[in-house]
Chains A and B, each alone.
Chain A
Amino acid sequence: MADGNGEALVPVVENPVPADMARLSITFGGQQGDLPELVPWDATDENLKEMATETVRDGYVPGIDAQDEPDFTDYVVDRFEARPDVQFNRLALRPKTPFGA
């Protein structure tokens, strides 16, 4: 496709995730899913755990069955800033993995 001047038209795709927001991925009970709504990129770990607890309990996260009492106490949040191949901020709530003292 070209405009009247013969220039190729490049579709402008708006990044659906604003720079101050992020997608939150949750892993729990052998299942994984993304929260349908965006969350603030600067949300604290505790705030994100509270969101996860409420949404997983209510069965609101696609891919994760509703759970009676999901416990994210010993989970951590990985924060991945937008980059050329993944152009939006991502947050991942996952189990912690350290061993030792």
Chain B
Amino acid sequence: MIELAMVFAKDGSALFWLGPNGCTSGSVPDSHVLWDRIWRNREVIGGVAHTHPGDGPTGASHTDLTTFAAIESGLGKRLIWPIVSSTHVSFFQYWELSKSYVDSKNVDFRDMNHWFEVVKTLRHLSQIGG
């Protein structure tokens, strides 16, 4: 299984995929193409999802957390940062109270029907790539 990244819109629909070139089982590389797609879609972007290898709930790495903050700084807006393992999805968001990114259990995805298909596809592609 390799790591992949996907930019999605506020309604959960996929806007852009990054991978598998340059991606490994442990990382998605820095990419000006990914930033370009994020910037071009800044009015409609909901967040960026990426995969982590393995099963179970997963935490965000230091690289993940600093990337979340950098991209939000560049866009001037907060996003949702799902991390997808083979069995779980963690939805990281910045919480002002704790001044940190936490796995949010309170994200309302009822209107994000596309999102669940996207997670399935993300898992499938990460398996193929690996």
A binds B: yes
Question: In the complex, which of the residues A30, A74, A100 contacts B3, with contact meaning CB atoms closer than 8 Å?
Answer: A100
Q: How far is the CB of A62 from chain B (nearest CB, A)?
A: 17
**A76 within 8 Å of B (CB atoms):** yes
**A15 within 8 Å of B (CB atoms):** no
Q: Interface range on chain A: under 10, 10 to 19, 20 to 34, or 35 or more?
A: 20 to 34
Chain B residues near A100 (CB-CB < 8 A)? 3, 24, 26-28, 50, 52, 61, 63-64
Question: In the complex, which of the residues B28, B39, B73 contacts A98, with contact meaning CB atoms closer than 8 Å?
Answer: B28
Q: Tell me whether chain A's interface is mostly helix, strand or loop, or mixed.
A: strand
Q: Which of B34-70 contact A (CB under 8 A)?
A: 34-35, 38-39, 42, 50, 52, 61, 63-64, 66-67, 69-70
Do B76 and A99 touch across chains, with their CB atoms under 8 A apart? no
**Which single residue of chain A is at the shortest CB-CB distance from B75?**
A30
If A76-B30, A101-B26 touch, whether A95 touches B63 (CB-CB below 8 Å) is: no
Question: In the complex, which of the residues B27, B32, B42, B77 contacts A101, with contact meaning CB atoms closer than 8 Å?
Answer: B27
**Which single residue of chain B is at the shortest CB-CB distance from A94?**
B35
Chain B residues near A24 (CB-CB < 8 A)? none
Q: Which residues of chain A have a CB within 8 Å of any CB of chain B?
A: 27-32, 71, 74-76, 78, 92, 94-101
